[in-house]
Each structure stands twice: as C-alpha cells, then as structure tokens.
Chain A
C-alpha cells in the first residue's frame, strides 16, 4: 500500500533531479560516443574481428560501458544527499531502509536506461538493424546490469563520507571492470592470466550477451550469460539492502 507509493515518491525525486540536471546526461553520453566514432571508427577502418567490423564489434561493449559508468556513479549522489542533509530527512521518514534502497535503485536504473536507450538509437547510424526481440533482449540485459551496478554504486556511496573518496574507489573499480570485460577485444584467445580475470568479471557476461543480442556472436551460451547476470544482480541487491539497513 503506502510502501509502493513511498517507493514511487523516492523514485520520482530521483527522476526529477535527473531531468533537471541536463549536464548529467550529456556528459554520460559524450564519452561513449567518442569511443564508438573515434576509437571504433578509426580502428574499424583497418580491422575486422572475424567477419565483423571493429566498430560494430565494440558497439555492444561501449553500450555496456555507458551503463557501467552511469550506474556506478549514481552512488555518489547518496554522499551529496548526506552532505546537504536531504538524506537525514529521508532517513527520519517512516520508511524502511529496504524501501529507501529500492527507491534509489529504481531511480538510478531509470537514469541508466534512458542513456542506454539513446545509445541504442546509435545502432541505426552504424547500420545495425535490431529486430523487436533482439531489442527487448538488449534492454533486459542492460537492465540486469544497471540493477547490479547501481546497487554496487549505492553500497559504496553509503559507506563513504566524501565524494573524493568515492571517486577514488570508483576509478579503481570501474576501469578494471571495463577493460577486463572483453568490451574492446575478443576473449577466446587470451593469455591465461587475462582470461582468468575476464572470466570472473560479471560485466564480461553482460558484454557477451549483448553482443549476441545485437550482432549475433558470443563466447558463452546466452543462458549462461543470463544466469550470471541475474545472480550478480540478486547478490548486489541483497548486499545493498543489508548495507542500507546498517547505514547511520
């Protein structure tokens, strides 16, 4: 009953803030565009992977990157909310911590998914034609990723006191997650150490599944990817609710 409405209200707040801070969306889309058109376009003029042009090959990886960055960075707003005392007003309201966490997660996922949708439109420019089912599959994969990564960001944000500290932790986390995900190179022929790190990185399975959905090539069977992604989401979401429960 009222918990659903409370979650809606928490989400609404995040959504309104998002729509009013246009710079958030512009900056989060700018970098992926550079990767696709400059890096991808440049290397793509010379390189094919299998029989896929390099620019097309990294496009799913860059989609994942944009969701990865915006989702994890969403956690920093918890720190700002705390700094300007808005968090205190939310914590003193008769809402369970789980409710607050769910509201925040949905807010963060909405931000990320709006960016993902804009990025998906780029497929037309690249000459990729998505069927309805591959589009829906892509959305599902990106949502699962956003769910786990927003949770991750919120966990870190709720434990940190300063935005500077958050940014430091994040750069140690986000770049490895990105570079060791196979977003930029195929993962079937890697040296042992690299392939080990790549295989234990959950983001890898997001890239792999998305590549399957968008260009029809992949390393693992789709169901394996989806199981890993779902498991990752469940784990991070659970840890997130626990962390919020303890947050002071």
Chain B
C-alpha cells in the first residue's frame, strides 16, 4: 500500500465557519505526520472527519484504502484514536477500560492479556490498573487513553494533542514508543500538537494549518531551512535597521517595539559584524530557526504568546557593550 491517507478537497463547514477548506493531503504508510496550528485552525475537525465521526460537507478521503463515506466501519476497524478530550470511563478501572476496548475492537482472546500488559507497562500504569479511573490524575488518564489507542495495533493512529499536560519524562517516553511503533510496525501516525519541539522531534512531515487551510507542508528540517537562517534578537533602541542590509547573509529584518529581529545565515559567524552595526545593545539572543519561526514566516502570526519556546538558545549575551 502506498498511501495510508489521502484526502480530496476535504471540507467542513459549520454554519458560517469554514473549519476545514479544500484539504488535499497524502500521507504515506509508516509516516509520522504532524498537524500544527493555532487554536481553532481545524486540526480536530480534520481528524474527526478522517475517523468518520464527522461527515465532510464537501470532498472525501481514504484511510487505509477505505472511503470514509462509503466504508466507515472498515475505516474505524483499521484506526486508533486518542481524542483531545479524555474519553475513558471514570467509573471503571483502567484495566476494565482496556478489556472492554479489546473486545470492541475484536482483539483475539489469546493475545488480549499480553497486549494489555504491554500497553500498561508502556504508560507506566500497571500498579494502578485496578483503581477506578476517577481516582487517576489528569496525566494518568491521558496515558490510559494512549494505551487504549495503541491496544489493537491499528494501521493508522490519530493522536489529538497526545502529550498535552504530561510531564517531560512521560512525554519523552511516549515519543519513543510512537517512533518505535512507526518504525517496527509501519504504523502511520497522524498527530496534532501545540508543542513545536514535539512536531520537530517526532514528525517526518509537518503541515502547518491556519484557518482551515494548509499554509505549508514539508519535513521539519526543510521547513526550517525555508526560513533562511538563524534568528538574532537585538534589544536596542539605537540601531538603524537599514544598515544590516550590508551583511549579505541577512535575509530578513524586522523591528518590533525595542527589538530588532534578524534572520541570518550562520548567525554565529556574523555576530561580530552585526553587533558592530547595532552599537550598544541591551541584550542579544541567537538561536536556530524553529517551527515557530516557520509559522510566523508563513502566517504573519505567532502560534501562541510565548515566542521562541522549543528553539535552541545558542548564546545569550546580556548587557554586552560593543565599542
């Protein structure tokens, strides 16, 4: 099989809002594909259509070769999903939740116990498997949800904000398992996330979506390359921004409040020149381009308030004065 998922002009309108517009994506078998976008971009709506919970208003899609409109039950059999909103049963224990799920998905009796033990171990819930879910913490519920999505070894796994609210160790643990699943079982994984580093670390390809449309789609590294270099922040009021054009490697100059933001190829090597032009600066920050910058570049907006999260801060020079 070549494409695990293929959408054709997939569109969803809610009354006056177009949540998803003319989406055309092909996702290969075994690929880890990320949907990155701000709140309300249409990520959840896209996933809901692909797993047959919502009917598209126009267009269609195929998942594992099955049409989402004509063969919804076959689609559902071949996918797993972790919803953005928790959907595990509070009044049952973790183990009971998994057992019921295994029966709904027709996991054979012989392998059921092994699979359940395996996913419980993965998410580190063995010791709490016999407690009612209502006694779990938020993160534990999330982990149970993830265990459930993986239980029946689906061909395509949809993860809507899978690591939201998890602690860093668990997140990394889960990233590793997601990678393992994709590598060893050729499981196709479609995930949405707000965490830039998650998309960056994990995804083979990322689609940045905004207002229901794909703005750009590529491998994270290629996307970052498209930004055209590293990002240099200068906190200064003095400098004449036009003078930075003298440096050939500077591809973009932006002024924001009392900050100048430059996009510079191999910024580390040109810092001296930059600081000479800028004169006295209060603060300098250099980091390599992140998906955040890609996002800003293509949409003109920040994906969320805290800029720069996930970027690698190469060097911070505070209160440095250059002659």
A contact residues vs B (CB 8 Å cutoff): 2, 5-6, 8-10, 12-13, 16-17, 20-21, 84-86, 88-96
Contacts and interface: CB of A to CB of B under 8 A. Distances in A.
A92 B50 CA distance: 11
Nearest to B53: A92
A99 B55 CA distance: 21
22 contacts: A6-B103, A6-B104, A6-B106, A12-B100, A13-B89, A16-B91, A16-B96, A20-B91, A84-B90, A85-B83, A85-B86, A86-B87, A86-B89, A88-B53, A89-B87, A89-B101, A92-B51, A92-B81, A94-B73, A94-B74, A94-B77, A96-B73
Contacts of A9: 99-100, 103-104
Contacts of B83: 85, 88-89
B237 to A, nearest CB: 51
Nearest to B73: A94
B233 interface: no
Interface string B96-112: 10011101111000000
Contacts of A95: 104
A5 B106 contact: yes
Using C-beta atoms within 8 Å of the partner chain, give the interface range for chain B.
20 to 34
Nearest to B106: A2
Interface in B70-92: 73-74, 76-77, 81, 83, 85-92
B126 interface: no
B87 A88 contact: yes
B63 to A, nearest CB: 12
A128 to B, nearest CB: 37
Contacts of A91: 53
Contacts of B73: 94, 96
A94 B90 contact: no
Contacts of A89: 83, 87-88, 101
B91 A17 contact: yes
Nearest to B92: A16
A111 to B, nearest CB: 14
A86 B86 CA distance: 8
B131 interface: no
Chain A to chain B: the 8 pairs with minimum beta-carbon distance, closest first: A9-B103, A94-B77, A2-B106, A85-B87, A89-B87, A93-B104, A94-B76, A9-B100
Nearest to B86: A85
Contacts of B92: 13, 16-17
Contacts of A6: 103-104, 106
A63 to B, nearest CB: 29
B52 interface: yes
Contacts of B81: 92
Residue among B51, B52, B77, B87 with the highest chain A CB neighbour number at 10 A: B87
A191 to B, nearest CB: 48
A5 B105 CA distance: 10
Given A8-B103, A85-B87, A92-B76, 14 more contacts: A2-B103, A6-B106, A12-B100, A16-B96, A17-B92, A85-B85, A86-B87, A86-B88, A89-B88, A90-B104, A93-B101, A94-B76, A94-B77, A95-B104
A196 B86 CA distance: 50
A93 B91 CA distance: 20
Nearest to A20: B91
A13 B100 contact: yes
B258 to A, nearest CB: 46
A91 B48 CA distance: 12
Given A5-B106, A8-B103, A21 B91 contact: yes
Contacts of A13: 89, 92, 100
A175 B39 CA distance: 47
A128 B49 CA distance: 59
A194 B105 CA distance: 51
Contacts of A17: 89, 91-92
Contacts of B103: 2, 5-6, 8-9
A237 B212 CA distance: 41
Interface string B56-76: 000000000000000001101
A7 to B, nearest CB: 9
B147 to A, nearest CB: 13
Given A16-B91, A86-B87, A94 B51 contact: no
Nearest to B52: A92
A74 to B, nearest CB: 15
Residue among A8, A20, A84, A91 with the highest chain B CB neighbour number at 10 A: A84
B134 to A, nearest CB: 10
Contacts of B51: 92
Contacts of B53: 88, 91-92
A181 B105 CA distance: 43
Nearest to A8: B103
Nearest to A1: B106
